[in-house]
């Protein structure tokens, strides 16, 4: 009797384990490395944040996060690669806002749909933008720079990381708000644009703060004004554009993490929770040194922002008189 009872209990336990196995298997995400495809080259702020976050998430989730830089075409190489990947949580992107918003207005067609082809995971950060120049004597102030731009329409050059990038949009906003006209010089990434600004090959750059800050602090670039409502703690002596007499010139180069559309909501939620944990006090303090604000959000908040910014940026592009390429 005792042997029979033991056998029955063992059979029941095995049955319970068998029933639980599928549920456990479904909960094993991630069980292999996760790829972060970036539509930008290494060296810029998006790449920096992707790598910092990847290290945190790797420690937290127990799998490597591998950054795969696929630069070119203002995101038109990297973004469709993510959109066409299996919706299983193993291919993600860390994207600048422009690939999801301004590109819709800058280009006649895109090989991806910013609103339909992706499932947002979370906003990661907000980044202020700053107008910088190499020639401090020629352009000591925003007023001097604006006067030069108006005196020689289409001759003052400004660099960007590509058509539709935050740097490009910053220049468009400056032109729209001041009625000035400049010459846009696009590069394949923020680092390349900064390098040519440092070399004096272009007059100015509406730079994302973290990519320009080390050069500002080293005295190699001169910061004229911030495109934000308030001054930055890391550049307390640099006035905002509003303080320089140019109203309504605010732009944040936010960055978000996204997955392919139709990625299971359970995976999106797991990644969202992991991002929030990863954005801890240590990471917040480290990014703040570069003037970056940690800003995790819900997936829905990112989706709403994309939709709203597409409309806003379309109005700016139209006001600037640009024809989609």
**pLDDT for residue 113:** 97
The pLDDT tens digits of the residues spanning 174-189 come to: 998 999 999 999 988 7
The kind and range of the H/E element at 277 are: helix 265-278
Same domain, 160 and 216: yes
Q: What is the CATH number of the domain that holds 58?
A: 3.40.190.150
**pLDDT for residue 27:** 58
For residue 239, is it within any domain? no
Same domain, 18 and 41: no
The span from the CA of 264 to the CA of 83, in Å, is: 14
Same domain, 45 and 115: yes
* More confident position, 99 or 317: 99
The pLDDT tens digits of the residues spanning 13-34 come to: 444 333 333 333 345 899 999 9
Beta bridge partners of 157: 183
Which residues are CB-contacts of 269 (< 8 A; sequence separation ≥ 6)?
Answer: none
**pLDDT for residue 60:** 95
Q: How confident is the model over 205-229, as a mean pLDDT?
A: 95
**pLDDT for residue 14:** 40
Q: How many domains are contained in the chain?
A: 3
**pLDDT for residue 1:** 44
**Residue at token pair 């539709």:** 164
Same domain, 135 and 192: yes
Same domain, 136 and 103: no
The pLDDT tens digits of the residues spanning 270-296 come to: 999 999 999 999 999 999 998 899 999
With a cut of 70, say whether residue 39 has pLDDT above it.
yes
**pLDDT for residue 2:** 43
Read off the tokens for 267. Answer: 């995976």
Contact 194, 215 (CB under 8 A): yes
The pLDDT tens digits of the residues spanning 245-267 come to: 999 999 888 999 999 999 999 99
**pLDDT for residue 188:** 80
Percent of all residues in the chain with a pLDDT value above 70, rounded to a whole number: 91
Q: Which of 73, 72, 79 is nearest to 117 (CA)?
A: 79
**pLDDT for residue 83:** 98
Q: Three-state DSSP class for 250?
A: coil
Percent of all residues in the chain with a pLDDT value above 90, rounded to a whole number: 73
Domain membership of residue 38 as a residue range? 34-126+254-319
For residue 242, is it within any domain? no
With a cut of 60, say whether residue 73 has pLDDT above it.
yes
């Amino acid at each position: 009797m005792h042997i029979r009872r033991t056998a029955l209990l063992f059979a029941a336990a095995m049955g319970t384990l068998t029933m639980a196995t599928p549920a456990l298997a479904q909960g094993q995400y991630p069980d292999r490395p996760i790829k972060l495809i970036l539509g930008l080259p290494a060296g810029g702020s998006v790449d920096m944040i992707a790598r910092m976050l990847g290290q945190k998430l790797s420690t937290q989730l127990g799998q490597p996060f591998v950054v795969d830089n696929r630069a070119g075409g203002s995101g038109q190489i990297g973004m469709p690669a993510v959109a066409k990947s299996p919706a299983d949580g193993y291919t993600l992107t860390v994207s600048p806002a422009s690939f999801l918003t301004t590109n819709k207005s800058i280009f006649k067609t895109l090989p991806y749909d910013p609103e339909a082809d992706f499932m947002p995971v979370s906003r990661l950060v907000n980044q202020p933008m700053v107008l910088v120049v190499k020639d401090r004597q020629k352009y000591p102030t925003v007023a001097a720079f604006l006067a030069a731009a108006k005196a020689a329409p289409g001759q003052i050059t400004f660099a960007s990381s590509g058509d539709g990038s935050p740097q490009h949009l910053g220049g468009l906003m400056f032109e729209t708000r001041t009625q000035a006209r400049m010459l846009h010089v696009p590069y394949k990434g923020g680092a390349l644009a900064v390098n040519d600004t440092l070399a004096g090959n272009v007059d100015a750059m509406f730079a994302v703060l973290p990519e320009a800050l080390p050069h500002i602090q080293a005295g190699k670039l001169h910061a004229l004004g911030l495109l934000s409502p308030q001054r930055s703690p890391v550049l307390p002596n640099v006035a905002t554009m509003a303080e320089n007499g140019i109203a309504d010139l605010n732009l944040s180069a936010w960055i978000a993490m996204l997955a392919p559309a139709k990625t299971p909501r359970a995976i999106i939620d797991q990644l969202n929770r992991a991002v929030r944990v990863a954005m801890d006090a240590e990471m917040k303090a480290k990014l703040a040194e570069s003037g970056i604000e940690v800003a995790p959000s819900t997936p829905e908040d990112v989706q709403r922002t994309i939709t709203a910014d597409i409309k806003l940026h379309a109005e700016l592009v139209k006001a600037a008189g640009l024809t989609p390429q």
